[in-house]
Structure 1
Amino acid sequence: MHSLPTKLTAGALLGLALLGGCGKKYLDLQPVDQITTQNFYQTESDALQAVTACYSQLGVGGQYNYALWGIGEIMSDNSFTGGGGGGDGAEEIQLDFFNIPTTNPMVGRLWGGCYVGIGTCNQVLQKVPGIAGMNEAIRKRSLGEAQFLRAKYYFDLVRAFGDVPLILVPPASPADAQIPRVPAAQIYAQIETDLLAAIGNLPGSYGGTDLGRASKWAATGLLAKVYLTEGKLAEAATQADAVIAGSGKSLWANYGDNFQVANENGQESLFEVQYVNGLNQYIVDGLGFVGNEFFAPRGQGLVPQGGYGFNVPELEFVQGYEAGDKRKAVTIWAPGDLYPAGSATTAQPASLPGSPYGFNCKKWFVGKVNTNVWDSPLNFPVLRLSEMYLIKAEGLGATQAGFDALNVVRTRAGLPPRSAANTPDFKAAVVKERRYELAFEDDRWFDLKRTNNLVTNPQLLAKGIKPFNIVLPIPQSERDANPQLVQNPGY
């Protein structure tokens, strides 16, 4: 059996030394030993380590451990910065109030992390086909994993920045990486190509220590989401329905079971970032998830460092829950919520530092893992089956099948079904359902953007959003390295 993607840290670090990304700073890395791209890709074991490196960027600062919660949530109407006030979380405050310099660290980490990930995928796709004596099933799977992950990284890039450089083979020199941006439509076409290829290459499921790798159904689910983003509604519904019908997955009866360490890679999961914990130091580039500490109520002592209180639910978001929605208690700390037994404080206060109304993000709360360990082993779900029902619903529209798909999610949440009689705007109802089903899973900003509700959103208008904030600035460090990168208007 082969280890989980994020467990092979040596392979991940090696991949970073062998990458061929975009931007001079990612191409000038020198091998720290005698391993090079010329002598590394020789065996099946080499291929597996290289594929592991393709996953490595998902779990660190350029994706789910830092950048995406600032862009996906704090830049949306779901949450605001929180923290300790003043300049605490300055980069998040910049995003929160749409005063985003081209040096914003979260923006820079997203761009850089995606291109590092793309670089490792490109290496696999170039080198693995030529490895002699490799098990053909493992070769096919390895190529599918790289295709899936390259598509995922490009999907984040194109949604966040619009036109971006398209690099499909490792650049032979830094000069080869100095290429201009191409139209977003070309990026989406490549994403579709990669995902369709991945669907053909990947197995439907895994077992043992391979659990957590990208499957055929992860690729199909991501393709459904890509089609939805492009406005290809019928295609999105078809792919989402394929996952529902063929994956063998099912919803947990209890929504909160999706966010328990014991249930990782469980019955509702299509793909998630694999985390293990063990650090007692402040770092977002380790193997554990930092949301347990960053999002916990500030200074309440529920987590090893006391809780930093970032990513605080907006009052309007909290007030938008329908009565009886079972997801609310799973997703947020609200005043009066009881803390775990043994806590110094018994319940969530009515207000606390960084949260004047007493709300905090609860979905990623694990508590004092191993007493003093700073990070968390809780995986981060990238795709869940419930989202496939919502994509199917949005794709089908206000048909009976569309309502049926929507109501699968609502029923699990403890909410009454929707029908034509009580739903004057079906698409708005589905998008709202996405807001509460996927809250704090880093989707909301992208949903507002794709539905053309971003720059007209009342909460975001009050924070100063401007029409050009439909995309993020190209990081200045990347423009310094690549003079052909033209800045997005307004920045």
Structure 2
Amino acid sequence: MKSKYIIYTGAILLGVGALASCKKSFLELTPQGQFLQSNYYANPAQALTAVVAAYDPLVTETGGIDNTYSSPLGALNAASDDCFAGGGSSSDVPAWQAINNYTLSPTVGPQNQFWAINFQGVNRADVLLEQLPAVPGLSADLLKRYTAEGQFLRAHYYFDLVRLFKNVPLILSTLNLTNVYDQPQATPDAVYAQIEKDLLAAIDGLPVTIIPAENGRVSQGAAKALLGKVYLYEKKWSDAARLLNDVNTNYSYKLLPNYGDIFSTKNKFNSESIFELVHSGTQSYTWSNWDQFKSNVYVQMVGPRSYTGPIYYSGGYGFSPVTTQLATAMKGDPRYGYTVVNIDSLTKATKTSYSPSYQNTGYFIQKYAPINANKVTTGITELNWPNDYIEIRLADTYLMEAEADLNGGGSTARAQTLLDAVRSRVGLPSVPATLDNIYIERRLELATEGHRWFDLVRWGQAPTALAFKGFKAGLNEILPIPLNETTNGSKVKQNPGYN
């Protein structure tokens, strides 16, 4: 099984972007079949299709080594103090239960999906970067842009891998069955150095702005934002502050006046969005499309089970119930109603009902809720939610720059201005620009958006904040490597403590 995930050169599942209409984005994919890599890059149109294929793992909603449902948000929220795993029972989506309870093992946990999806992305980027220079008829401008996109994507996939696993092979060329097992893990420093190298190389080749028909493709600002974030994780404070300041001041991004508008399906690619992952509600998916979904199935997952009221489309599957810790922290904050919904109170007030899920708290995620306003009529509704996921947005980069300034001896006044901007947008008064206040603000501003677990780990706060879930210091800061990747003569070694 190992070769399926590290090597993906035999045949690549490709899709084409809907470029003809501004109503559809570049990454609303229509599967086009399988093409042999050895004879596929024959013209510029095929090169563009390969670019789309390299983006594709970013929005994969299913799949992995065991072909169970996969969503990065589900696992990351369950790992944090924002949410529990939830679902129908303690055995519903075992990978999420394992990271929720910190009972991870090499065979049980979300590591199978994280490893598979990201290495699939690495391989597609590697193939793209190898093949592009030889594509007949590809103009110099397109070669430059497509190469930059491949470099950004490889860096993105490796950033996830090194944060999640720390010890991963560094694969920069396509492999075959004779050498796939011979790839040792690189040092984290070497992986981070390659991520920096790819992003620095990508920046100049990317456009400053993205036209509507190409929404979902990476821009120069997004590459700088990701590089600034990488520097932040490496504690290269001055570099992080410099790059993030560039993003925050020299591009056209703006905080939206209304916080709730950030997450509206009618407001995709808004002025606050720096890097947004596209989900389509027009693909007419049915259960026969398993492992193909580019809609946001996580939306269905987080709705209350068997809900009978007028607000949510027939409920959901009861995953990711919000913890009482987060609900308590947010009460009184203007962002509460856009982030959390109290279904217990709602059903009592409206004389409706729902079925409590496993680990039910009565609180559910509002940002990605399956509300009637977003319901589509194509295919099976629960498999075709159109909600995008904004992976990097301006309030996030504001707070990262402020954090870098304070840690690196930069401008306290600048940090104060950035913190004030995030708070004043929602009508909150100024508080001193301290690291503790920035940590608090990140939680409240970005709650349930998948950042919290990474933040707790990099701040060294995870052992305390996640003690109630069973987090073990010195072990659970990284995930176990999937068992199949460490057997059959592989040079990949299991992470410490997970043998």
Q: Please tell me the TM-score bracket, short chain as reference.
A: 0.7 to 0.9
2:398 is matched with which residue?
A: 389
**Which residue of structure 1 lines up, in the alignment, with residue 31 of structure 2?**
10
* Alpha-carbon shift at residue 112 of structure 1 (Å): 0.6
Q: Distance in 2 between matches of 1:348 and 1:229?
A: 46
Percent identity, please: 33
| Residue 83 (structure 1) aligns with | 87
Q: CA deviation at 1:385?
A: 1.0
Distance 1:8 1:68, change over 3 A: closer
Equivalent of residue 365 in structure 1, options 359, 365, 369: 369
Distance of aligned partners of 1:2 and 1:308 in 2 relative to their CA distance in 1, 3 Å threshold: closer
Judged with a 3 Å threshold, the aligned counterparts in structure 2 of structure 1 residues 175 and 314 are, in CA distance, closer, same or farther, namely same
Per-residue CA deviations over 1:315-365 (Å, capped at 9, x if unaligned) read: 111111262x221101111146658xxxx9937879933354310111112
| Greater Cα shift, 84-93 or 446-455 | 84-93
Q: Secondary structure at the match of 2:85?
A: strand
In 1, are the aligned partners of 2:98 and 2:109 still within 8 Å (CA)?
A: no
Deviation at 1:208, TM superposition (A): 3.3
Q: Would you say the 8 A contact 1:474–1:487 is kept in 2?
A: yes
Is structure 2 residue 105 aligned with structure 1 residue 101?
yes
In structure 1, how many angstroms separate the alpha carbons of the residues matched to 2:291 and 2:450? 17
Q: Does 1:314 align with 2:335?
A: no
One-letter amino acid matched to 1:417: S
Native 8 Å contact 2:71 2:298 kept in 1: no
Q: What residue in structure 2 maps to residue 418 of structure 1? A: 431
Q: Specify the code of the residue in structure 2 equivalent to 1:471.
A: I
Structure 1 residues 169-217: Cα deviation after superposition (integer angstroms, max 9, x where no partner): 1114442453111111111111111111111110011113112210101
Select which of 152, 159, 170 maps to 1:155. 159
1:257 counterpart = 2:261: yes
How far the C-alpha of 1:436 sits from its partner, in A, is 1.6
Over the residues paired in the alignment, what is the CA RMSD in angstroms?
2.4
**Which secondary structure does the structure 1 equivalent of 2:436 belong to?**
helix
* Deviation, structure 1 residue 366: 4.0
* One of 206, 213, 238 as aligned partner of 2:210: 206
Letter of the structure 2 residue corresponding to residue 431 of structure 1: Y
The 1-side partners of 2:73 and 2:189 are apart by: 26
Asked if 1:279 corresponds to 2:285, the answer is: yes
Moved more, 78-87 or 353-362: 353-362
1:423 maps to none
Partner residue, 2:454: 446
User: Which of 421, 429, 446 in structure 2 is aligned with 1:408?
Assistant: 421
Please tell me whether residue 56 in structure 1 is matched to residue 56 in structure 2.
Answer: yes
SS in 2 for 1:78: coil
Which letter does structure 1 place at the counterpart of 2:131?
K
- Alignment partners' CA distance in 1, 2:396 and 2:173: 32
> Take 2:404 and 2:215, find their aligned partners in 1: how far apart are those partners?
30
- CA gap of 1:401–1:9, structure 2 versus 1, over 3 A, is same
Which of these residues, 191, 194, 218, is aligned with residue 187 of structure 1?
191
Alignment deviations for residues 276-324 of structure 1 (CA, whole Å, 9 cap, x no partner): 123243846401001221001122156556311111111111111262x
**Aligned AA (2:296):** F
Hey, what's the Cα distance between the residues in 1 that align with 2:148 and 2:181?
Answer: 24
1:20 corresponds in structure 2 to none
* Counterpart position of 2:9: none
Q: Higher mean Cα deviation, 210-219 or 427-436? A: 427-436
8 Å contact 1:75–1:445 — kept in the other structure? yes
4+ aligned runs moved over 6 Å, structure 1: 347-351
The range that moved more, 445-454 or 461-470, is: 461-470
**Partner Cα distance (2:352, 2:254) in 1:** 33
The residue type equivalent to 1:58 in the other structure is: L
Partner of 1:45: 45
Decide whether the 8 Å contact of 1:171 with 1:177 is kept in 2.
Answer: no
Structure 1 CA distance for aligned equivalents of residues 334 and 178 of structure 2: 52
Cα–Cα, structure 1 residues 350 and 47, in superposed 2: closer, same or farther, change >3 Å? closer
- 1:374 aligns with 382
Which whole-Å CA distance do the structure 1 matches of 2:63 and 2:339 have between them?
24
Q: 2:321·2:362 contact (CA, 8 Å) conserved in 1? A: no
Question: Aligned equivalents of 2:257 and 2:366: distance in 1?
Answer: 19
Contact 1:279 1:374 in 2 (8 A): no
Question: Would the alpha carbon gap of residues 207 and 486 (structure 1) be closer, same or farther in structure 2, given more than 3 Å must change?
Answer: same
CA distance in structure 2 between the aligned counterparts of 1:184 and 1:432, rounded to whole angstroms: 28
Alignment of 1:230-241 (within 5 A): 230-241=234-245
Superimposed CA distance per residue, residues 28-83 of structure 1 (whole angstroms, 9 cap, x where no aligned partner): xxxxxxx42221112111110000001111111369x8342244211111111111
1:70-118, CA deviations, whole angstroms, 9 ceiling, x for partnerless residues? 4421111111111122422322111111101212252101001000001
Supply the distance in 1 between the matched residues of 2:323 and 2:103 (Cα, whole angstroms).
19
Shift of 1:455: 1.9
Query: What displacement does 1:136 show?
Result: 1.8
- 1:297 is matched with which residue: 299, 304, 307? 304
User: What's the offset of the Cα at 1:435?
Assistant: 1.2
Query: 1:418 and 1:167, CA in 2 relative to 1: closer, same or farther beyond 3 A?
Result: same
1:228 aligns with 2:242: no
The answer to whether the Cα contact below 8 Å between 2:18 and 2:29 also exists between their aligned partners in 1 is no
Q: Deviations over 1:247-275 (max 9, x none)?
A: 20111111111111111111111111111
Matched, 1:479 2:483: no
Classify 1:326/1:174 alpha carbon distance in 2 versus 1 (closer, same or farther; 3 Å).
Answer: farther
